[in-house]
C-alpha cells in the first residue's frame, strides 16, 4: 500500500471522514515519528491560486456566466423600471445559484480558483443587495456603502462558515474596513486625499482606524497560524489572506507617515521600522510584512541617494531579497534558535531544518 499523502488527508477532510484538526494531528504525529519537525521541507509558506489550467477555464466560464446574468438583470431593471426591489430579488437569486455551484466546485471538487471566483461573486451579489436596500431607504452615499459593506460582511461570514474558502476572510476584512470608514464619514469627516487614510499626521481619525484594524487583523491572523503551525489546513490559508490585508494597513500607516517627514531622524526611524517588520516577518514565517515595506525602501533610496547611487542601493536591495528568499528557512532557523523562549514560540511554524546529507 502506498504512503498516505497530505492530499489524501485533505480529500478525507473534504469527504467528511475526519476533521481538519484530526488531519493536522495525524501529520504532526507522522513528522514527529520520522524526525520531529526537522523533516519539514517547505521552502515557503503554502500559497495556491489554481491547481491546473482547467480551473482557469472554469473561472472564465463562471465570469462570463456572472457577467451575462448581471447584464440581463441590469437591462431588465432599466426596461421595466422595477428598481430597488427587483434588484434585491435578483441579487438573492444570484446568491442562491452561487451556493450550489460552490457546493460542487468547492466541497465536491475542491478547486481553488473557482472557489475564489465564486466567493467574489457572492460578495458582489451581497453588495448589490445592500446598495439597493440602502437606496430604497434613501440613504446618503456614505450610508449606502456602510449598509452594503455591513450586509456583505455578514453574508460573507456565513459563506465562510459553510464553505471555509480562505480567500473569503480577505473579503470579510475589506467589508469591515469599508463599513468602519463609512460610519466615520457619515459623521461628516471625509479624507481630502487617499494618502490621508495612512498618514497619522493628517486631519481625521482614518489613519488611526487603519492601523487599529490592521493590528486586529494581525491578531486574528496569528490565531489562525498558531492553531495550525504545520500549515496543513485551511486555517493557515485563511491566516495568509488576513496577513495580506493586515500587513499593508500596519506598514503603510507607519512607513508613509515617517516617509513624509523630511527630517533625517524620521528616515532612520523608517529604516529601523522596516528592519523590525522584516524580523517579525521571519519570526512568524510570513513574507507579507517584508513585501509591504520593500516599496518604501526603494522610495527612500531614490529620495535620499541621488543618481547612480540610488540604483546601486536598489541593486543591493534586490540581491538581498533574492538571498533571503533562497535562504529563508536557514536564516529563520538561526534567528529562532538565537531567540529566548517567549509565549507562543512553540506554536509558530517549525524552524529546525535537517542538515543536508
Average pLDDT of the segment spanning 243-271: 81
> Quick check: 108 pLDDT over 60?
yes
Rounded distance, CA 285 to CA 111, Å?
26
Burial bucket for residue 266 (CB in 10 Å: 0-12, 13-18, 19+): middle
User: Quick check: 147 and 139 in contact, CB under 8 A?
Assistant: yes
Burial bucket for residue 103 (CB in 10 Å: 0-12, 13-18, 19+): middle
Check residue 191 and give left, alpha or beta (phi > 0: left; psi -120 to 50: alpha).
beta
In terms of pLDDT, which residue wins out, 74 or 356? 74
DSSP annotation of 223 reads: H
Query: What are 349-357's contacts with CB under 8 Å, separation 24+?
Result: 349/40, 349/45, 349/225, 349/229, 349/230, 349/231, 349/284, 349/285, 350/37, 350/38, 350/40, 350/229, 350/230, 351/37, 351/285, 352/36, 352/37, 352/38, 353/38, 353/40, 353/329, 354/35, 354/38, 354/39
Nearest C-alpha neighbor of 282 from the set 310, 251, 240, 324: 324
> Quick check: 81 pLDDT over 60?
no
- The per-residue pLDDT for range 263-302, each reduced to its tens digit, is 778 778 877 888 888 888 888 888 877 787 777 677 766 6
Count other C-beta atoms under 10 Å from residue 355's C-beta: 6
Rounded distance, CA 118 to CA 113, Å?
9
Average predicted confidence (pLDDT) for the chain: 79
Rounded distance, CA 183 to CA 298, Å?
35
- The per-residue pLDDT for range 312-323, each reduced to its tens digit, is 767 877 887 888
> Quick check: 356 pLDDT over 70?
no
- The per-residue pLDDT for range 112-153, each reduced to its tens digit, is 899 999 999 999 999 988 888 888 877 777 788 888 999 999
Q: In the chain, what is the greatest distance between 2 CA atoms, to the nearest angstrom?
A: 74
Q: What is the pLDDT of residue 62?
A: 93
Average pLDDT of the segment spanning 182-210: 76
Q: What is the pLDDT of residue 184?
A: 82
Coil, helix or strand at residue 164: coil
User: Quick check: 347 and 28 in contact, CB under 8 A?
Assistant: no
Q: What is the pLDDT of residue 119?
A: 94
The CB-side HSE value for 167 (13 A sphere, CA atoms) comes to 18
Full-prediction pTM beyond 0.85?
Answer: no
Coil, helix or strand at residue 137: coil
Q: What is the pLDDT of residue 39?
A: 42
Rounded distance, CA 336 to CA 351, Å?
7
Cα distances (angstroms) measured from residue 95 to each of 73, 102, 312: 14, 10, 53
Amino acid at each position: 500500500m502506498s504512503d498516505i499523502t497530505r492530499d489524501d488527508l485533505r480529500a478525507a477532510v473534504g469527504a467528511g471522514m475526519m476533521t481538519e484538526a484530526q488531519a493536522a494531528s495525524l501529520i504532526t504525529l507522522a513528522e514527529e515519528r520520522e524526525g520531529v519537525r526537522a523533516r519539514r521541507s517547505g521552502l515557503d509558506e503554502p500559497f495556491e491560486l489554481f491547481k491546473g489550467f482547467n480551473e482557469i477555464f472554469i473561472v472564465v466560464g463562471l465570469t462570463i456566466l456572472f457577467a451575462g446574468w448581471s447584464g440581463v438583470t441590469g437591462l431588465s431593471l432599466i426596461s421595466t423600471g422595477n428598481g430597488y426591489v427587483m434588484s434585491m430579488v435578483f441579487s438573492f437569486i444570484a446568491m442562491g445559484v452561487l451556493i450550489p455551484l460552490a457546493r460542487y466546485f468547492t466541497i465536491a471538487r475542491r478547486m481553488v480558483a473557482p472557489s475564489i471566483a465564486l466567493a467574489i461573486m457572492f460578495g458582489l451579489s451581497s453588495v448589490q443587495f445592500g446598495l439597493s436596500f440602502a437606496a430604497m431607504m434613501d440613504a446618503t452615499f456614505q450610508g449606502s456603502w456602510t449598509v452594503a459593506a455591513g450586509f456583505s460582511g455578514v453574508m460573507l461570514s456565513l459563506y465562510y462558515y459553510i464553505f471555509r474558502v480562505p480567500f473569503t476572510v480577505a473579503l470579510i476584512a475589506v467589508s469591515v474596513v469599508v463599513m468602519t470608514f463609512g460610519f466615520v464619514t457619515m459623521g461628516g469627516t471625509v479624507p481630502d486625499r487617499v494618502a490621508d487614510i495612512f498618514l497619522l499626521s493628517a486631519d481625521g481619525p482614518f489613519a488611526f482606524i487603519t492601523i487599529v484594524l490592521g493590528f486586529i487583523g494581525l491578531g486574528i491572523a496569528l490565531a489562525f497560524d498558531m492553531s495550525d503551525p504545520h500549515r496543513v489546513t485551511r486555517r493557515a490559508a485563511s491566516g495568509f489572506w488576513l496577513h495580506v490585508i493586515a500587513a499593508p494597513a500596519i506598514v503603510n500607516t507607519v512607513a508613509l507617515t515617517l516617509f513624509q517627514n523630511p527630517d533625517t531622524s524620521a528616515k532612520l526611524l523608517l529604516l529601523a521600522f522596516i528592519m523590525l517588520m522584516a524580523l517579525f516577518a521571519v519570526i512568524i514565517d510570513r513574507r507579507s510584512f517584508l513585501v509591504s515595506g520593500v516599496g518604501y525602501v526603494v522610495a527612500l533610496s531614490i529620495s535620499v541617494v541621488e543618481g547612480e547611487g540610488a540604483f546601486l542601493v536598489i541593486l543591493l536591495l534586490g540581491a538581498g531579497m533574492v538571498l533571503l528568499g533562497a535562504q529563508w528557512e536557514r536564516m529563520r532557523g538561526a534567528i529562532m534558535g538565537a531567540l529566548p523562549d517567549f509565549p507562543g514560540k512553540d506554536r509558530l511554524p517549525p524552524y529546525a531544518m535537517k542538515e543536508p546529507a
